[in-house]
Structure 1
Amino acid sequence: MEATGNALSYKWRVSRDNGATWEKLSMFAEVNSFSDKRLEIYDADSSAVDYMFRAEVSTPGFKCGTILYSEPAKIIKLPDNDNDCVTDDIDLDDDNDGILDTNEDSTDIDGDGIINSFDLDSDGDGCFDVIEGGYYDGDGDGIAGDDPVLVDL
């Protein structure tokens, strides 16, 4: 939505119940401003998934002015199959077995309902792909390396 005019007032609203009710946006500390025409939310935690946001635009100086509402926008959580905090759309290895997704694929070779790039044993032979690929799996969980991985900074 784009609103034009003089002395426009923007108030942001949030709905936690799929748009049934709307309340003032005050619970998010990581927003740029509650009165700007652009809303930016930074580092939303998983409790905010599926919340909806919309702008209420009015002209407070014009008594008979119409209040307009933007289309709602919803916070979504991008999938992260291996829970490594790298979303699958940019993760080079969605199951952390050490084999790049470009070398696995999105088919399901063993027919278990899990695509190969998510499947730790994509051929269903009982041996993890990480071992078949020649990688180290010190704790035997099918994920390359030991868990947790310790890094010195």
Structure 2
Amino acid sequence: MKKIISLLICILIIVFLCLLNSCSPAKLSKEKPSNHYYFTKLANNITISKKVKLNILDTNFYKNKSIKEEDLSTIINFMNNLKVTNFIKKPFNLPQKPEYKIFLELEGEKYVINVYNEKYISIFPWDGNYSMDYIDMSSIYTAYNLHGFCKYLIYMK
């Protein structure tokens, strides 16, 4: 009986090692290709998507508002006015939680834009593998600042 059990254990170990050896390990890179990786994906997806669904959440009062597609033009204008210098590493003085969250649902993709204040935002997909893209909005026109955009749409419109 002991011989049968030890033989089965040996066979299982051999099979396991053969299976493990035949699989090549996946090369998972945790380094993001660029500091505007998710922004570029979002910009490309917005241009090819026929339908975009927008929601804004005020995280202080948990007030949620669906936004019409016509208001997407402000986000597109914001994106068109960004320069490479606007993309930064995570700031040290970034608030713990954003004031607003913009949820964009495109065809098959979901993105979140965290609006922290008048100066900082972050962009990431719903199921991203890398760290967020951080953007400094201090050099963007006031009309395209996403903090003012969210504030206007939640409270004024």
Aligning the two structures, in what range does the TM-score lie when normalised by the shorter sequence?
under 0.3
**Which structure has the higher relative contact order (CA within 8 Å, separation 6+)?**
2
| TM-score, scaled to structure 1 | 0.26
Q: Which of the two has greater helix per residue?
A: 2
| TM-score, scaled to structure 2 | 0.26
